[in-house]
Amino acid sequence: MRATTVLIIIDMQKGMQTYPLARNNPQAEENILKLLNWARTNDLNIVHVRHISRTDSSVFFPGQIGAAFQDPLNPLAHEHVVEKNIPDAFIHSNLERWLRVRDINTLIIVGVSTENSVEATARTAGNLGFSVYVVDDACFTFDKVDYAGRKRAAQEVHNMSLANLQGEYAQIMSASEIVKALQPDLKSVEQ
C-alpha cells in the first residue's frame, strides 16, 4: 500500500492565512500537519502543490511572501512540488506522469479551497482512474456568494463541494478515518 499511495497537499501557502473572508474548519491545518507527519513516518509519497499567480498584484505571485508554503508544512528536499497557475493541479503540470511512473494509484487530497483547487484536482484524478480520498476535516474554504446572489457560509460551500465529489470522483473521509482505513499496513498518526 505504501508505495502506491500519495498524500497531496494543495495550496497551503502563507497567502491563505491572510484571506479576508470567514472560513470553515479552523482545525484543518492541524489535521493536515498530522497527516503529513503520519505520511512521513510511514514512507508515503508526498506531493506539495503551490499556486503561482500570473497576476503581479497577487499575494501568490512569484517572490511574494504569500506564495511561500506555510512554515510547518514546508516540503522536505525529497518531497515532490507541483506548481500550478489554475485550480486543477493536473493541468499544465507533470503530476499525472509523476504518479504513473511511480505506479501510484491512491490519492489522499487535503488543502484549500475545497470548492476550487481541491475539487478541481479530485475531479480530474477520479476521471483519470485514480482511487481518490478527500479528507473532509483537512480541507477548508471561505464564505462565497452563489450564482443567485445569496451569501453562503463557508461550511455550506464546503459541504456542497464534498457532495459533488462523493461517490463519483472520490470518497470523503475524516483524517482519523483515512488513517484507520490504511491500517494495519501503516503506522498510527499518533506515533
Condensed to tens digits (0 to 9), the pLDDT of residues 12-33 reads 999 888 877 899 999 999 999 9
What confidence score (pLDDT) does residue 191 get? Answer: 44
**Distances from the Cα of 44 to the Cα of 11, 24, 64, 90, angstroms:** 19, 28, 30, 20
Residue 12 backbone phi and psi in degrees, to 5: -85, 75
Contact between 6 and 46 under an 8 Å Cβ cutoff? The reply is: yes
DSSP 13: B
pLDDT, residue 185, reads 58
Which of helix, strand or coil describes residue 132? strand
Q: Is the pLDDT of residue 38 over 50?
A: yes
Q: How many residues does the chain have?
A: 191
Q: Please determine, for residue 184, whether its predicted confidence score (pLDDT) is greater than 70.
A: no
58-76: per-residue pLDDT in tens?
889 888 888 899 999 999 9
**Pair 93, 136: CB distance under 8 Å:** no
172: three-class secondary structure by DSSP: strand
Position 1 pLDDT exceeds 70: no
Q: How far apart are CA 97 and CA 23, in angstroms?
A: 33
**Ramachandran category for residue 126: left, alpha or beta (phi over 0 → left; psi -120 to 50 → alpha):** alpha
Beta strands in the chain (DSSP E): 5-10, 45-51, 80-84, 106-112, 131-140, 144-145, 151-152, 171-173
pLDDT in tens, 132-179: 999 999 999 999 999 999 999 999 999 999 999 999 999 999 999 999
Q: State the cell numbers at 172.
A: 470523503
β-pairing, 144-145 vs 151-152, is antiparallel
- Mark residue 172 as left, alpha or beta (left: phi above 0; alpha: psi -120 to 50; beta: remaining): beta
- pTM value? 0.93
pLDDT digits (tens, 9 = 90+) for 77-129: 999 999 999 999 999 999 999 999 999 999 999 999 999 999 999 999 999 99
For 99, list phi and psi in degrees, rounded to 5.
-70, -45
